[in-house]
Amino acid sequence: MKEKILEKATDMFLNLGFKSVTMDDLANEMGISKKTIYTHYENKTKLVEESTSHLLHCISHGIDHICGLEKNPIKELYEIKKFVMLHLKDEKSSPQYQLQKYYPKVYGMMRERQYELMEDCVLDNIRRGVEQGIYRENLNKDFVARIYFMGVTSIKDQKLFPMNKFPVATLMDDYLEYHLRGIITPKGRKILNAIINSNQE
């Protein structure tokens, strides 16, 4: 039952937002009593904490799988973006914004873990891109990895990028292209342009 509550809560948080979903909503949706939920999770904060941890685990597992396929590094970044967007339901309810505002401690812990989980994958992506001649040789790999992570997390700031002006899917595409154009070689540019053109068809 604990797992079922966690899965349902995670799904509802992503679709409706961390603040918007109450324990009553969750109980009603599952057809169980609130008491049953409290047997497994002492309060909503604990449930939010476990839910973000569960989500992070699922996403990092999926990203590890994509990285393990050792695809072309540019294609790999697009595959990861597609996978994350699918898991985060396109972030219609801006869960990250609500998490940051109403559960800052949980948000802080998630940010730290997020970087730890992403670091190896991003650094490996850069290293392989340089080896294959599609990323520039003179890159400061650590700098590029960190600036990429900062960008990925910062574009979710709704004060900077309000959703009515910057739809999430377009924003992610624009950011990825911006990141890649700064590090690719002419050989890499051909691959990137081919991906962008095929995405527009």
Report the predicted TM-score, pTM, of the whole model to 2 decimal places. Answer: 0.85
Domain residues for the domain of 84 are 48-200
20 occurs within a structural domain: no
Q: Which two tokens stand for residue 55?
A: 């989500």
Domain count, the chain: 1
Which is nearest to 128 in space by CA: 82, 173, 191, 196? Answer: 191
pLDDT score recorded for residue 43: 94
9 occurs within a structural domain: no
168 occurs within a structural domain: yes
Q: What whole-number distance in Å separates Cα of residue 26 and Cα of residue 34?
A: 8
- The one-digit pLDDT tens for each residue of the chain (201 residues) are 999 999 999 999 988 888 889 999 999 999 999 999 999 999 999 999 999 999 888 888 898 899 888 889 999 999 998 888 887 765 555 677 788 889 999 988 888 888 887 888 899 999 999 999 999 999 999 999 999 999 988 888 878 888 889 988 889 999 999 999 999 999 999 999 999 998 765
Which is nearest to 93 in space by CA: 28, 159, 149, 163? Answer: 163
pLDDT score recorded for residue 84: 85
pLDDT score recorded for residue 60: 87
- Domain containing residue 95: CATH number: 1.10.357.10
Residue 184 forms beta bridges with which residues?
Answer: 135
26 occurs within a structural domain: no
pLDDT score recorded for residue 89: 61
pLDDT score recorded for residue 117: 79
8 occurs within a structural domain: no
40 occurs within a structural domain: no
184 occurs within a structural domain: yes
Question: In 10 A of CB 31, how many CB atoms?
Answer: 6
Contact call for residues 118 and 149 (beta carbons, < 8 A): yes
23 occurs within a structural domain: no
Q: What whole-number distance in Å separates Cα of residue 175 and Cα of residue 185?
A: 18
Per DSSP, 48 falls in state H
Which is nearest to 106 in space by CA: 13, 25, 178? Answer: 13
Q: What whole-number distance in Å separates Cα of residue 62 and Cα of residue 87?
A: 10
Query: Where would I find the beta strands (DSSP E) of 4-88?
Result: none
